[in-house]
Amino acid sequence: MWLQATVHGAVIGIEVQAGQAVAAGQTLLVQEAMKMEVPLAAPQAGRVHAVACAVGDVVPAGTALIEFEAGAAAGAASGSALPPPASDPAVPRPNLQAVLARQAQTQDAARPEVVARRHAAGRRMARENIAELLDPGSFTEYGALAVAAQRSRRSLDDLQRATPADGLVTGTGTVAGRAVAVMAYDYTVLAGTQGVFNHAKSDRLLALAARHRWPLVLWAEGGGGRPGDVDWLGVAGLDCLTFRSLAALSGQVPLIGIVAGRCFAGNAALLGCCDVIIATEGSSLGLGGPAMIEGGGLGRVAADDVGPVPVLAAAGVVDLRVADEAAAGAAARQLLACLGGVAAEAAAAGGNALSLRHALPENRNALYDPRRIVETVMDAASVIELRREFGTGVVTAIARLEGRAVAVAASQPHHLGGALDAAACDKLARFMQLADAHGLPLVSFVDTPGFMVGPDSERTAMVRHAARLFVGAAALRVPVASVVLRRGYGLGAMALTGGHFHAPVATCAWPSGEFGAMGLEGAVRLGFRKELQAAPEAERETLFQRLLAEAVARGQALNMASHLEIDDVIDPAQTRPWLARVLASACTTPLPPRRGFIDTW
């Protein structure tokens, strides 16, 4: 019989000749097709009678090449057979050995002295932070084999040892089973600066995050751009895609930024795009580091004095202050679960519901702590307060209510009696955007005399800041549920309830609730000015108190509810189940598409 070519290709080797006995599986000739070598083997032991081709011939598939007679072999067959399998599959080939050695070189274990210094400073390696954040065994790293773009000035061996991953660890994993993208600048590699190849790595990861709608966690420690990278063609690199690519994720996926240590320039710009910025104590953050400050003729500044956490937390830059990197990772996991829509089993309330009946003092002008009310109503240990030290007229927090992730805003009477000043307006306006972008229903606890007024307030552009709340509320897709604890006065109360008292899916009040178009004391003094001026001075205060008592009675929660301006008056002990029922009904409808992004401020 004739053995035929199995592919269309050139004959590049003939291993036998006419009359030769061959063994089963022995290679008779070899063709080349599309740069691959294709052997033609003896189907069984036998003898070659004729070879009908020569080296160099290009033959189509099916061409008769060798005349072969099965079972007719005389004497021992000679020639090459297919190579036997490796005797020990566990032993890697040289090329795999080279890969494994290079991969090991990228890991922290290859730099024990660097790890020791980092730990001695009380800090973690980038991969250690990633490992703690992600579910065990879920991390897939991208671009680990990159080195700094400095091959023209340093040896490759030096770069591989000193600049693993080009100072940026990127990849994907899961948090509570949900896919997450991670980027961690490695401060032990060229001070965590941004180089040619780590920009390429970040661009790759950010494109994937946009395509697959992965949340992103960014560890931003580092010094910004790296002037030492010389292996590229360009001048300033201002056509870099990274900053716009990360910014484009705003409002599309959760963005959690973590800063531990020093974070300047480009690293800080990326951090500032995040939905929530978590900072460890002792960190310093700024759009320019000491070198840039001095280069700009602004004098010498110590790195830790550029933007210390206490200053930036009060300024509203930092959303959440934590003790260390371990606490930062734990907070990031908790936030990702809430912002990412990961469901949780209903947990017990954070406190005794009956205590809410006495949470407010009987004196209508006395102070109290709204955080205790929030923590009592929400699931135990679920409340994460954001921007605690900024815009202190309102408390904003992410929490869970019977397992449902919610955004919570509460008036803070300790600051201006709960009046909304410019900072509080900015804080609440952005918080509403954050809630809306990530599908968190908004729960508001209201006790406010309204917006802050007066010449000093107006110098802060209060008209514009206050209007942000109404514009933002009008664009909300998520449901709002509001509880008026005490004072629900004027425009400020309307702003805290999504624009007006019927904007929420439900608005209720505690029995202590009192309402008016403005503060009742001011309303009485303005509305009854003539009567008060006409009264004898000795009787004026008595008249004022009588008129005020009438206004308080008229503005009582029960009277408001009887006129249908609010939906109900509830026992404070029933606040948690009331909210849970309201949200269970309101959160069944899919949200319409959202417009815009989350304001960085």
Q: Using CA atoms, how far apart are residues 91 and 39, in angstroms rounded to an integer?
A: 26
Task: List the structure tokens of 468.
Answer: 């942000």
pLDDT digits (tens, 9 = 90+) for 25-42: 999 999 999 999 999 999
Cα 39 to chain centroid distance, Å, stands at: 54
Neighbours of 5 (CB within 10 A): 23
pLDDT digits (tens, 9 = 90+) for 151-199: 999 999 999 999 999 999 999 999 999 999 999 999 999 999 999 999 9
pLDDT digits (tens, 9 = 90+) for 117-163: 999 999 999 999 999 999 999 999 999 999 999 999 999 999 999 99
- The residues, ordered by sequence, that sit 6+ positions from 26 with a Cβ below 8 Å of its Cβ are 15, 16, 41, 42, 77, 79, 80, 81
The answer to whether residues 225 and 183 touch, using CB atoms and an 8 Å cutoff, is: no
Neighbours of 474 (CB within 10 A): 10
| Residue 74 pLDDT grade (very low, low, confident, very high; cuts 50, 70, 90) | very low
CA angle 403/428/184 to nearest 5° reads: 70
Helices 462-474 and 422-437 meet at what angle, rounded to 10? 20
Instruction: Give which of 212, 201, 146 is closest to 171, Cα–Cα.
Output: 201
Largest CA distance in the chain: 140
List beta partners, residue 50.
67
The answer to whether residues 418 and 369 touch, using CB atoms and an 8 Å cutoff, is: no
Would you call 135 exposed, middle or buried from its count of C-beta atoms within 10 A (0-12, 13-18, 19+)?
middle
| Residue 515 pLDDT grade (very low, low, confident, very high; cuts 50, 70, 90) | very high
The answer to whether residues 372 and 352 touch, using CB atoms and an 8 Å cutoff, is: no
For residue 424, the model assigns a pLDDT of: 98
The torsion angle over the Cα atoms of residues 335, 336, 339 and 344, rounded to 10 degrees, is -90
Instruction: Give which of 234, 226, 221 is closest to 263, Cα–Cα.
Output: 221
3-state DSSP assignment of residue 521: helix
For residue 72, the model assigns a pLDDT of: 56
The answer to whether residues 410 and 395 touch, using CB atoms and an 8 Å cutoff, is: yes
Q: Which helix (H) or strand (E) holds 21?
A: strand 21-22
For residue 78, the model assigns a pLDDT of: 53
> Which ranges of 174-289 would DSSP assign to H, the alpha helix?
196-212, 242-247, 265-272
For residue 582, the model assigns a pLDDT of: 98
For residue 79, the model assigns a pLDDT of: 52
Q: What is the mean pLDDT of residues 526-544?
A: 85
Please give the mean pLDDT across all residues of the chain. 93
For residue 594, the model assigns a pLDDT of: 79
Which single residue is written with the structure tokens 């949900």? 178
> Which ranges of 362-410 would DSSP assign to H, the alpha helix?
370-377
Would you call 140 exposed, middle or buried from its count of C-beta atoms within 10 A (0-12, 13-18, 19+)?
exposed
Q: What is the mean pLDDT of residues 216-225?
A: 96
| Residue 84 pLDDT grade (very low, low, confident, very high; cuts 50, 70, 90) | low
DSSP symbols for 378-389 = SBTT--EEESTT
Kindly list the structural domains of the chain, giving each domain's residue range(s) and its CATH number in brackets, ordered by start: 2-70 (2.40.50.100), 97-339 (3.90.226.10), 353-513+556-586 (3.90.226.10)
Sheet holding 27-33, edge to edge: 36-41, 27-33, 9-14, 58-59
pLDDT digits (tens, 9 = 90+) for 252-281: 999 999 999 999 999 999 999 999 999 999
Instruction: Give which of 174, 194, 196, 100 is closest to 130, Cα–Cα.
Output: 174
Instruction: Give which of 385, 392, 601, 410 is closest to 493, Cα–Cα.
Output: 410
pLDDT digits (tens, 9 = 90+) for 34-73: 999 999 999 999 999 999 999 999 999 999 999 999 985 5
pLDDT digits (tens, 9 = 90+) for 371-392: 999 999 999 999 999 999 999 9
Q: What is the pTM of this model?
A: 0.89
Instruction: Give which of 427, 216, 421, 409 is closest to 313, Cα–Cα.
Output: 427
The pairing of beta strand 64-70 with beta strand 2-4? antiparallel
